[in-house]
C-alpha cells in the first residue's frame, strides 16, 4: 500500500536519508528499526507530508502521495503532545476535524473510543489535569479516531505502564485485524519483534536490510545450538562440532555449538549423551538486535 522509492533527504550539511526504498504491504505490521538518529523520523515525516524529500517518490495505494492521503494516515509522534489548557473532548473533536471528519462523525467515534479506553468521564477534563499515562491514552485515541488506513506509531510503547502498554498493543492488533496497515518505528527493537510481519533496518541514513522477519531470521540462522547439561564439563573438539562458547552457572553447564558438515542435532546429542545429563537443547536464533549489530559491524563501526 505504501511504496517508498529512492528517497533522499538532505539537511544543510547532514544527509538524513540516502536513497532509501521500502515496500509496505497492505494489512501488514511493518517494523521500521534503527538506532536514534538513523533517519526513521525523517522518513516518517516524509510519509506524513510534514516535509518533502529532496529526491525520490512515495506512492500511497498506487497514487503519488498527495494531501488527500493525509486523512487516511494516523500518526503518533515520538514526542507526544496535546494542548494543555484545552478540554479533552473539544481537543479530540478539533484534531478529528482537522483530519477531515465531520463534526457528528467525530463525536460518535470519539465516544466509541473513549468507552473502549474507559475514559468516558474525561470529556470535560483538561490535559494538564491528567497523569502522563492518561495523556498517552488520549493521544492514542487522537491517532486512531478517524479510522486511518495506515497507522504510523513512533516509539508506541514508551511512556505506558505495562498494563496500559498491553492494552494499547491489543488495540493495535485489533485494528490490524480489521485491515489497518501499521508501521512501528522504534530503536528498541526487541519491543516490536514479535509483532512485526516485515521489517526494515535503517542505520546512518541508509537502509541496511529489509524483508519478512521470518526470512531474515532464517537467513541469519547459523545451525548453532545451545545445550544445557549437568555433570563433568566436556569439551568437544572436532570440525563437525565447533564450540562457540562454554560457561557454567552453579551446577548447570552451558555449551554453544555450531554444527558443520551437515551434522544434525541428533548427531550432537548422541556424542554428548554418554558423557553428561542433558537438560535442554535450543537452537540459537539471532534476535533482530543481534542481526542489526552483526550487519552493521560487517559494514563498519556503529554507534548505538
Partner 1 sequence: MNKILLIIQREYMSRVRKKSFLVMTFLVPGLIIGMYGLIAYLTITGGDKLANVKVLDESGVFAGKFKNTKSVLFSDIKGNVAEEKKKVAGEDEGFLLYIPTNIQTGGKTEMYSKKKAGIYVLSNIEDQMNEIMRTKQLHDAGIDLATLDKIKPDFTIDSKEITAEGEKDSSSGAAYGVGFAAAILIYIALFIYGSQVMRGVIEEKTNRIVEVVISSVKPFQLMMGKIIGIGLVGLTQFLLWIILSTTLTSVASSAFSRPDPAPIVKTQHQTGSQKKMADAQKSASDGPGAAFMKAMDTIDFKYILALFLTYFLGGFMLYSALFAAVGSAVDNETETQQFMLPITLPLLFTYIMAFSFIVNNPDSTLSFWLSIIPFTSPIAMMVRIPFGVPGWEIALSVALLIGGFILTTWIASRIYRVGILMYGKKTSYKELVKWFSYKE
Tell me the residue length of the chain: 304
Residue 13 makes CB contacts below 8 A (sequence gap 6+) with: none
Say whether residue 132 binds partner 1 (CB under 8 A): no
Query: Which positions from 203 through 262 interact with partner 1, judged by CB under 8 A?
Result: none
Say whether residue 142 binds partner 1 (CB under 8 A): yes
Q: Nearest approach, Cβ of 7 to partner 1 (angstroms)?
A: 13
4 beta partners: 22, 58
Q: Which stretch binds partner 1 (CB under 8 A): 22-30, 44-52, 179-187, 193-201?
A: 44-52
Query: Distance from CA of residue 43 to its chain's centroid?
Result: 14
Q: Nearest approach, Cβ of 45 to partner 1 (angstroms)?
A: 8
Residue 250 makes CB contacts below 8 A (sequence gap 6+) with: none
- Residue with the three cell numbers 541469519: 220
Label the pairing between strands 241-249 and 206-212: unpaired
Q: Nearest approach, Cβ of 243 to partner 1 (angstroms)?
A: 48
**In this chain, which of 1, 8, 70, 265 binds partner 1, going by CB under 8 A?**
70
Output 45 or 217, the one with its CB closest to partner 1. Answer: 45
User: By the 8 A CB rule, do 50 and 127 touch?
Assistant: no
Q: Nearest approach, Cβ of 141 to partner 1 (angstroms)?
A: 12
Q: Nearest approach, Cβ of 86 to partner 1 (angstroms)?
A: 7
Q: How many CA atoms lie within 13 A of 107 on its CB side?
A: 2
Say whether residue 45 binds partner 1 (CB under 8 A): yes
User: By the 8 A CB rule, do 47 and 152 touch?
Assistant: yes
By CB under 8 A, name the binding residues for partner 1: 11-12, 45, 48-52, 54, 67, 70-71, 73, 75, 77, 79-86, 94-95, 97-100, 139, 142
Amino acid at each position: 500500500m505504501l511504496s517508498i522509492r529512492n528517497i533522499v533527504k538532505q539537511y544543510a550539511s547532514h544527509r538524513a536519508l540516502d536513497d532509501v526504498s521500502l515496500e509496505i504491504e497492505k494489512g501488514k505490521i511493518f517494523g521500521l528499526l534503527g538506532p536514534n538518529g538513523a533517519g526513521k523520523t525523517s522518513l516518517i515525516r516524509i510519509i506524513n507530508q510534514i516535509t518533502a524529500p529532496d529526491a525520490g517518490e512515495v506512492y500511497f495505494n498506487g497514487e503519488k502521495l498527495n494531501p488527500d492521503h493525509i486523512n487516511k494516515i494516523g500518526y503518533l509522534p515520538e514526542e507526544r503532545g496535546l494542548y494543555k489548557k484545552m478540554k479533552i473532548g473539544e481537543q479530540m473533536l478539533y484534531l478529528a476535524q482537522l483530519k477531515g471528519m465531520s463534526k457528528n462523525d467525530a463525536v460518535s467515534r470519539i465516544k466509541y473510543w473513549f468507552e473502549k479506553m474507559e475514559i468516558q468521564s474525561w470529556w470535560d477534563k483538561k490535559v494538564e489535569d491528567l497523569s502522563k499515562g492518561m495523556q498517552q491514552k488520549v493521544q492514542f485515541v487522537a491517532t486512531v479516531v478517524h479510522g486511518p488506513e495506515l497507522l504510523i506509531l513512533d516509539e508506541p510503547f514508551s511512556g505506558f505502564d505495562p498494563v496500559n502498554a498491553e492494552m494499547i498493543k491489543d488495540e493495535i492488533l485489533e485494528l490490524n485485524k480489521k485491515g489497518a496497515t501499521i508501521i512501528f518505528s522504534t530503536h528498541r527493537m526487541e519491543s516490536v519483534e514479535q509483532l512485526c510481519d516485515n521489517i526494515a533496518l535503517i542505520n546512518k541514513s541508509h537502509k541496511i536490510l529489509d524483508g519478512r522477519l521470518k526470512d531474515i531470521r532464517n537467513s541469519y540462522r547459523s545451525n548453532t545450538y545451545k545445550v544445557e547439561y549437568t555433570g563433568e564439563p566436556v569439551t568437544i573438539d572436532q570440525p563437525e562440532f565447533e564450540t562457540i562458547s562454554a560457561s557454567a552457572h552453579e551446577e548447570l553447564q552451558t555449551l554453544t555449538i555450531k554444527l558443520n558438515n551437515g551434522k544434525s542435532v541428533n548427531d550432537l546429542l548422541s556424542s554428548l549423551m554418554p558423557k553428561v545429563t542433558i537438560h535442554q537443547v535450543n537452537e540459537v536464533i539471532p534476535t533482530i538486535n543481534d542481526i542489526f549489530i552483526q550487519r552493521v559491524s560487517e559494514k563498519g563501526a556503529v554507534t548505538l
